[in-house]
Structure 1
Amino acid sequence: MLMGLLFSIAAGALVGLQNIFNSKVNENTGSWMTTTLVLGLGFAASLLLGVVFEGGDMFRLDLSSMQTWYWFSGIIGVGVVTCVVQGVRRLGPTFAISIVLITQLVTAMIWDTMGWLGLEKVPFSWNKLAGVLILIGGILVFKLGGRNAKTAEKVQVHDPI
């Protein structure tokens, strides 16, 4: 379990860093070139690391037991990168990624609860829903609280007293 937690923490940190990098690349190249660069370099890195760590075993595939639609994960990745880059550009990194994470959590909870696409069904609980709602409330406090603080700063700066 500890390794799962460490990998999850690392993934969260890497996703946050990647989104900042992607946003900076997008400022200079545009959304589609950013997506192409991100996924192209990701492919090259995955291929290289796969060969280094797995050698020839990496190319021994048994795709017969896998559903065909699972192969489209990379196409979904295009949508992920494109949408996140645009969200970060329009909302800023923290707010955009907060929304992405909440949406991931809600979507995962629905898919787990329904047992769709061969997932093992995980029973719904009100505690899980309460946790998601608390996170959503935290994001709202984060976003709306910042506006009030900025407004208060402006009032203090312009106050002649």
Structure 2
Amino acid sequence: MIIGILLALVAGAFVGLQNIFNRHLNEHVSSWFATTFVLLTGSVAALIIGLLLQGTKIFDVSGMKPSYWFFGLVGVGVIYTMIQAMRRLGPTKTVLISIIAQLAFSLLFDVTGFLTLPQVDLKWQDIVGVLLIISGVLIFNLKKKVPLVRVK
């Protein structure tokens, strides 16, 4: 479990970094090119790392359902919408809102057994947890921005 928590923390750091990189990239090129560039460079990196770590076994798709070939389209949606949201909201609000959406939809997918996930029971603690996170984000966004005073 500790390794899972550490991996989730690293994934969160990567998402935060990715959003900042996407925003900077989008300042110089269109959102669609930025999305293409991010996915292309990520695909090349994943291919090289996969080949180094697992060799040609990474190409074994014998047990894969045909519908899975289209799941990469979700990645296009993720990157494009994050870039657009970042331009309008900034990094912090974009990540906070996307985390709430991820949590809420993941809970919905777990409860409904969406896409053949094992169905789990909805507990009142789950709902309270989501509401607490949403409340925290609202409180975070209500605070006044105080300009920093530089000391010379």
* Fold shared by both chains (TM-score > 0.5): yes
2:150 corresponding residue in structure 1: none
TM-score by length of 1: 0.87
Give the C-alpha shift of residue 67 in structure 1.
Answer: 3.2
Query: Deviations along 1:29-50, whole A, 9 cap, x unmatched?
Result: 1201110110000110011011
One-letter code of the match for 2:117? L
1:96 corresponding residue in structure 2: 94
2:72 corresponding residue in structure 1: 74
One-letter code of the match for 1:77? G
Give the C-alpha shift of residue 71 in structure 1.
Answer: 1.9
- Matching of residue 2 in structure 1 with residue 8 in structure 2: no
2:41 corresponding residue in structure 1: 41
Which runs of 5 or more residues in structure 2 are unaligned?
148-152
1:159 corresponding residue in structure 2: none
One-letter code of the match for 1:83? T
TM-score by length of 2: 0.92
One-letter code of the match for 2:139? V
CA distance in 2, matches of 1:4, 1:124: 23
One-letter code of the match for 2:82? V
Percent of aligned positions with the same letter in both sequences?
42
Count of residues in Structure 1 that have an aligned counterpart in Structure 2: 147
Question: In the TM superposition, what are the counterparts of 1:108-147 in structure 2 within 5 Å?
Answer: 108-146=106-144
Give the C-alpha shift of residue 89 in structure 1.
Answer: 0.9
Query: Deviations along 1:107-159, whole A, 9 cap, x unmatched?
Result: 0000000111110011101101111111101111111113xx45xx7xxxxxx
CA distance in 2, matches of 1:145, 1:138: 11
Q: Which has the larger radius of gyration?
A: 1
SS at match of 1:44: helix
Query: Deviations along 1:65-112, whole A, 9 cap, x unmatched?
Result: x33322212111001000001111100100111000100000000000
